[in-house]
Amino acid sequence: MSRSRRPPIAHVRRLAAAVVAGVLAVLVLTPAVASAAGGPAGDVFARTNAQRTAAGLPALVSDPGLDAAAAEWARQLASSCTFEHSSSAWRSARVAAFGWTASGENIAAGQPDAAAVVSSWMASPGHKANILDRRYTGLGVGYATGSCYRTYWVQIFGVGSPVKTLPGGAGDLNGDRSADVLARTTSGDLRLYPGTGTGRFGTATTVLPAWGDRAFTPLGDFTGDRIPDIARVEADGRLSLFSGNGRGGFAAPVAIGTGWSRFSQLIGGMDFDGDRLADVIARTTSGELLLYRGNGRGGWLSGGARIGSGWQNFTAVFSPGDFTGDSRSDLIGRRADGTLWLYATTGKGTWAAGRQIGKGWGSFTALAGAGDFDGNGTQDVLARNASGALLLYGGTGRGGFLPARSVGSGWNGIAQLG
């Protein structure tokens, strides 16, 4: 392989005969459009779909599993200074749980931006054939930088229909396809810190002034309109639902329950029972966890089932979304000794065995799920230290962390992150 700045691009089309035979059944599916990875990867996604639209083909759906796999392979190429395809077995192991029955791949290196790489692929018959293949219904895009070829681009195409997953954190509140951060200030305002999809923040705005000193709970899409929502427990114990409007704001509160003041914390946006609907987990002062199953329409299927005990020993508990890459919601807790523990769900209303994923986290004054804040297709975690610096711990999509990096300072005026 030439070691030029812009090496030849390559492609792979690996659909086994059995998969091709099943494609006609796939073609009748019309999966809902999901949010693409942000940054340069998101630009490639949009430009790829523009090429398909111009050719009269349906748009490809984005999916966290495809995005995470593409990002992982792009990082592998960048870190190893190699230029080769992943195997179909490697891809299948990462995307099958998300509903994809087969996959193909385009890779490239050296192109300076999204416009250049998509133009290069469209000028190559094999790559163009992948982009315009009617059998593909999903697309994940990965982008990484390295010393040998500077830029690395990966497209992973999927056949099938994506499985709905719930992201961690507040979600995309303003409709720009990037994960945002919601924060309650020490003065009692609720502020939106919009993410750019590249691990940075846009201009913050106050979305609910005079919110007060009560905690907010990110609910994920609790009402079924594909827009994230939040909740608050009122002084009289009512649980108020604030439905997101998709433009960075919220509708007037609606009461969806009473007697919630007995809980010390609510954790929303999790699908605990595997029905792909957002649930709420309530923690009592005695350390019990109770499950309240959402109905996907802003209400409840059932409530009060005991799903855990001993959680009073945790100094922080939050949902990072699908942190392990198996398309199921997870929970992270910090113990008093500063160790960080991951509790994955099985999708059947039970927990997998907890495992330690970090230590030395006791010095952080705030922890929260960040969704896919850096735009690489995996779920991330935000941590604030005592000096007010905000650190991003990017998820690997396999239950671990990428190296931490600073994404802000002066966050000591924030009472709660979500």
Q: Which residue is listed with tokens 């039970």?
A: 350
Query: Would you state the pLDDT for residue 14?
Result: 27
Query: Would you state the pLDDT for residue 36?
Result: 52
For the segment 110-136, the average pLDDT, to the nearest whole number, is 96
- The sheet with strand 254-255 has its strands ordered as 216-220, 229-233, 239-242, 254-255
User: In the predicted model, is pLDDT for residue 30 greater than 90?
Assistant: no
User: In the predicted model, is pLDDT for residue 100 greater than 80?
Assistant: yes
More confident residue, 27 or 346: 346
pLDDT band at 68 (very low <50, low <70, confident <90, very high): confident
For the segment 148-166, the average pLDDT, to the nearest whole number, is 90
Query: Would you state the pLDDT for residue 5?
Result: 28
CA distance 269 to 221: 7
pLDDT band at 99 (very low <50, low <70, confident <90, very high): confident
For the segment 90-115, the average pLDDT, to the nearest whole number, is 91
pLDDT per position as a tens digit, 130-156: 999 999 999 999 999 998 999 999 999
Q: Is 417 helix (H, G, I), strand (E, B) or coil?
A: strand
Q: Provide the 8-state DSSP code for 35.
A: P
pLDDT band at 77 (very low <50, low <70, confident <90, very high): very high
**Mean pLDDT across the chain:** 89
| Distance set, CA 133 to CA 56, 58, 81, 92, 157 (Å) | 11, 10, 30, 19, 9
Query: Would you state the pLDDT for residue 376?
Result: 82
Query: Would you state the pLDDT for residue 13?
Result: 31
CA distance 80 to 404: 21
Amino acid found at 129 = A
pLDDT band at 65 (very low <50, low <70, confident <90, very high): confident
Q: Which of 87, 113, 112, 91 is nearest to 100 (CA)?
A: 91
User: In the predicted model, is pLDDT for residue 24 greater than 60?
Assistant: no
User: In the predicted model, is pLDDT for residue 59 greater than 70?
Assistant: yes
CA distance 407 to 179: 14
Q: Provide the 8-state DSSP code for 58.
A: P
Q: Which residue is listed with tokens 């309650």?
A: 184
pLDDT per position as a tens digit, 363-386: 999 999 999 999 887 899 999 999
CA distance 418 to 405: 18
pLDDT band at 15 (very low <50, low <70, confident <90, very high): very low
pLDDT per position as a tens digit, 316-354: 999 999 999 888 999 999 999 999 999 999 999 999 999
Q: Which of 96-110, 205-219, 269-283, 356-370 has the lowest mean pLDDT?
A: 96-110
For the segment 272-279, the average pLDDT, to the nearest whole number, is 93
For the segment 177-189, the average pLDDT, to the nearest whole number, is 94
Query: Would you state the pLDDT for residue 377?
Result: 79
pLDDT per position as a tens digit, 295-309: 999 999 999 999 999
Query: Would you state the pLDDT for residue 197?
Result: 87
| Distance set, CA 144 to CA 81, 127, 207 (Å) | 11, 19, 34
pLDDT band at 31 (very low <50, low <70, confident <90, very high): very low
For the segment 74-93, the average pLDDT, to the nearest whole number, is 93
pLDDT band at 12 (very low <50, low <70, confident <90, very high): very low
Query: Would you state the pLDDT for residue 386?
Result: 97
Please state the separation of Cα 331 from the chain's center in Å: 14
